Amino acid sequence: MPQAAQMELFAFAWFISCWIGYTLYSDRTSRKGNGLVGAMERQREHWMRQMVARDNRMVDIAIVRNLTRTSSFFASTSMLILAGLVTVLGAAEKTVGAVSGVPLISQLTPLQWELRLIALTVVFVYTFFKFTWSIRQLTYCAIQVGAMAPASATDEDCIRRSACIARIATLAARHFNRGLRGYYFAAALAASFIHPAALIVSTTLLVLVLYRREYHSNTLALIDQSEASRRA
């Protein structure tokens, strides 16, 4: 196998390994309550406990509707990007000739160009399904909020139901996060049009940035501080 082909295979293997590995790591740590995802999971539980004691829950429905709107935006964007990718994929040979003189773009064969476009297409199909499933789960969450009977904050049955609703909202958020993470990794994958080494570097930098933002960001520190103040 030529050395260039070996490097391409290694670059794409590194890309897939980083994506899967970081997703598994994020899911495992969030279940322990660590990171932004874990912190927001606790906030959703507190939100739903507050929802139980409210007679008018229009505020809660409005929050769910706003979350649904955000997921809908990204799902629609994924469809638009997919339409563009399929269009370019149908004219791969013409596209290779058109971008042959563009700086930083490496000289790729039509087959290499098509494989990269197919990889990007798979990524955005993945994000579309993640966002649409998040929308459906948020819809179920809104129905559960509407079905909750008026109760006091000490009603044990309603508290248990509110915990289930918070769990549904958390599952929706996890799928939304995975879809959004797909956008980030798609941006890293675009570096493969420059050089396989660029894909390796961009993927590595992306994982470092995601790790810092989810586990060592100022946002996480402020959320933890707010939670500590509430408990005090």
Residue ranges of the domains in the chain?
Answer: 37-182
Q: Which residue from 141, 137, 218 is spatially nearest to 179, judged by alpha carbons?
A: 137
Q: Which residue from 197, 202, 198, 220 is spatially nearest to 41, judged by alpha carbons?
A: 220
Please tell me which residue, 207 or 227, carries the higher pLDDT value: 207
Task: State how far the Cα of 140 lies from the Cα of 198, in Å rounded to an integer.
Answer: 42
Residue 12 tokens, joined: 């794409």
Q: Give pLDDT, residue 51.
A: 87
pLDDT in tens, 171-211: 999 999 999 999 999 999 999 888 888 999 999 999 999 99
pLDDT in tens, 112-150: 888 888 999 999 999 999 999 999 999 999 999 888 877
Q: Give pLDDT, residue 130.
A: 97
In which band, very low, low, confident or very high, does the pLDDT at 99 lie, cut at 50, 70 and 90? low
> Average model confidence (pLDDT) for the chain?
87
Quick one: the chain helix, strand, coil %, rounded to 5?
85, 0, 15
- Secondary structure of 185-232 as H, E, C letters: HHHHHHHHHCCHHHHHHHHHHHHHHHHHHHHCCHHHHHHHHHHHHHHC
